[in-house]
Amino acid sequence: MIESLDMHLQDLVQNAYSAGASRVSVLLDCDKAADRLTLEVSDNGSGMDEQTMRAVQQGFFSSKSKRSVGLGIPLLRASAEHCDGSFDIASRPGAGTTVTARFRLRHIDLPQLGNLAKTFLNILVTSSGRWVSITYRCGDQELDIDTNRLHEFLGETSFQHPEVIRFLRSYIEEHIGQEWEET
């Protein structure tokens, strides 16, 4: 079951990658003053028509006809709405998709953030030529990372080079204040 926000984020980004996006932006913002947590993933992938959007939000839908799963979106929607928040999908065929989930930050059932460092690292190292940006703001922690900037410094060096993986992991942890979970 997908419950924590780090898992939802990984799922939303996978959806964007599967939709053929070349540009993906991820936002996770905790606004204490407004008592709101916002999770947003925006892409320039294939997008959806209205009928598909309705099906996606109801669940048991997948654009891959062989499989009829796809419960990630309805679970996120239910969770956001339960937490006095809101859920929106804006999409048009050929014009990409933006998924926005808002939660009341102090709601007792607010999903756990989970291990965001793992998800952010996974997203970056599998970006594979896509332009992916991640913005994270919670309290005094802030992370702003963008694959185009990484390429400026790395040239043709792969994001999956062991030293790059190590660097990115430490960089992410330093900026979001989350320890890598050792198992």
Partner 1 sequence: MKLEDLRKIRERASKDISLRKGDARVKVVIGMGTSGIAAGARDVMAAFLDEIDKRGLSDVTITQTGERGLASSEPVVEVHVKKEAAVVYGEMTDTRARRVVAEHIVNGNPVSDYVIEVRA
Binding site for partner 1 (CB under 8 A): 1-2, 6-7, 10-11, 14, 17-18, 62, 64, 66-67, 69-72, 115, 118-119, 121-122, 125-126, 128, 149-150, 153-158, 160-167, 169-171, 174, 180, 183
Q: Residue 32 or 67: which CB sits closer to partner 1?
A: 67
CB of 161 to partner 1, least distance (A): 5
Minimum CB–partner distance for residue 145 and partner 1 (Å)? 8
CB 134 within 8 A of CB 122: no
By C-beta, is 55 or 71 nearer to partner 1? Answer: 71
Cβ 120 to partner 1 shortest distance, Å? 11
- The whole-angstrom separation of Cα 146 and Cα 121 is 12
Of 99 and 150, the one with the shorter C-beta distance to partner 1 is: 150
Answer for the pair 126, 132: CB distance below 8 angstroms, yes or no. no
Question: Smallest distance, Å, CB 121 to partner 1?
Answer: 6
Tokens of 14: 């996978």
In angstroms, rounded to a whole number, what is the distance separating the alpha carbons of residues 71 and 34? Answer: 29
Range list of β-strands (E), 46-156 = 86-91, 97-104, 131-138, 141-146
Q: Return the number of the residue (100 or 115) whose C-beta is nearest partner 1.
A: 115
Within 10 angstroms of residue 76's Cβ, the number of other Cβ atoms is 25
Strands 36-43 and 97-104: antiparallel
| Separation of alpha carbons 90 and 49, rounded Å | 10
CB of 98 to partner 1, least distance (A): 19
Is 106 or 161 the residue whose CB approaches partner 1 more closely?
161
